[in-house]
Amino acid sequence: MVDFGISDHLGQPIHIEHNIDNKSPVRKIFRPITQDGLIKLYNEIEIINWIFVDNIGMNVEERFEIFICVLEQALLKYFPEKNYLERSSKPKKNPWFDESLRLMREQLKFLSEVGKQYNRAEDLENYRRFTIQYKQAIKIRRK
């Protein structure tokens, strides 16, 4: 869960299970929220000319539409979309390789691709730590 520090509302994580027999790889699109992007977004918001907010020649809806458009453009600029190919779910060859390990493997692949795209020390460290957790989980399941 990422806290942007913009609102006092907290995100509510939910878990929804679904069973889809999809054998082909799935391309997942995401928009990573990075510290660098947040800093640039905050700087961009500080230098924007917000004079249109007080423009009495426009009605409230027009001003709000411009406000949202300005924010959306800044968000799209500093948090570009990334994508990765999720491995297909194949029949289990090993009875010990369960759904939780499969999800960990997908998370590991995701962290690997994020690390390659950004090449930041914190992403590489997250990948390294999660690799250790994944290997430990495999050892436990094999026993």
Q: Do 90 and 76 have their domain in common?
A: no
Among the candidates 40, 59, 81, a domain finishes at 81
**pLDDT value, residue 34:** 86
Calpha distance 24→90 (Å, rounded): 9
Domain that holds residue 55: 30-81
- Between 143 and 29, residue with greater pLDDT: 29
In a domain, 13, yes or no: no
In a domain, 141, yes or no: yes
Q: Do 74 and 113 have their domain in common?
A: no
Q: Do 96 and 73 have their domain in common?
A: no
Reported as half-sphere exposure (CB side, CA atoms, 13 A), residue 30 has a value of 14
What's the total number of domains in the chain? 2
pLDDT digits (tens, 9 = 90+) for 59-87: 999 999 999 999 999 999 999 998 888 77
Phi, psi at 13, each rounded to 5°: -70, 140
pLDDT digits (tens, 9 = 90+) for 3-19: 556 666 666 667 777 66
Q: Do 94 and 141 have their domain in common?
A: yes
Q: Do 95 and 64 have their domain in common?
A: no
| Percentage of the chain modeled with pLDDT above 70 | 81
Calpha distance 21→31 (Å, rounded): 26
The pTM assigned to this predicted structure is: 0.44
